[in-house]
Amino acid sequence: MKTKSLRKFAYLSIAAAVVTISFKLLAYFLTNSVGLLSDALESCVNLIAAIVALFMIILAEKPADEEHAFGHSKAEYFSSAIEGGLIVLAAFSIIWAAVPRLINPVPLENVGIGLLVAVGASGINLVVSIVLLKSGQKNNSIILEADGKHLMTDVYTSAGVLIGIGLVKVTGWLVLDGIVAIAVALNILWTGYQLMRRSALGLLDSGIPETDRLKITKALESLKQQNLDYHSLLTRQAGQRKFVALHVLMPGQWTIQEGHNKIEKIERDIRALFDSPVTVFTHLEPIEDPLSMNDIGIDRNDIQV
AA letter at 42: E
pLDDT of residue 257: 93
CA distances from 216 to 177, 233, 301 (A): 52, 9, 25
Q: Which CATH number fits domain 7-203: 3.40.50.300, 2.40.50.140, 1.20.1510.10, 2.60.40.10?
A: 1.20.1510.10
Report d(CA 269, CA 221) in Å as an integer. Answer: 12
Tens-level pLDDT at each residue, the chain (305 residues): 445 567 888 888 888 888 888 887 887 787 777 666 766 776 777 787 788 778 877 877 777 667 765 666 667 677 677 777 777 877 777 777 677 767 777 665 555 676 677 778 888 888 988 888 888 777 767 777 777 877 777 777 777 777 777 777 777 777 776 777 777 778 778 777 777 777 776 666 677 888 888 999 998 888 888 888 888 888 887 767 788 999 999 898 999 999 899 999 999 999 999 877 888 999 888 988 777 776 665 555 554 44
The CATH class, in words, for 210-293 is alpha beta
CB-CB contact of 42 with 52 (8 Å): no
List, edge to edge, every strand of the sheet that includes 241-250: 229-238, 241-250, 278-286
Q: Are 215 and 278 in contact (CB under 8 A)?
A: no
pTM over 0.75: no
- Give the pLDDT confidence score for residue 270 in this predicted structure: 93
Predicted confidence at residue 264, as pLDDT, reads: 92
Q: Which sequence spans correspond to the domains of the chain?
A: 7-203, 210-293
d(CA 187, CA 125): 17
Q: What is the pLDDT of residue 202?
A: 67
Find out whether 150 and 193 touch, Cβ atoms under 8 Å.
no
Contact 38, 97 (CB under 8 A): yes
Residues 118 and 21: their CA atoms lie apart, in Å, by: 10
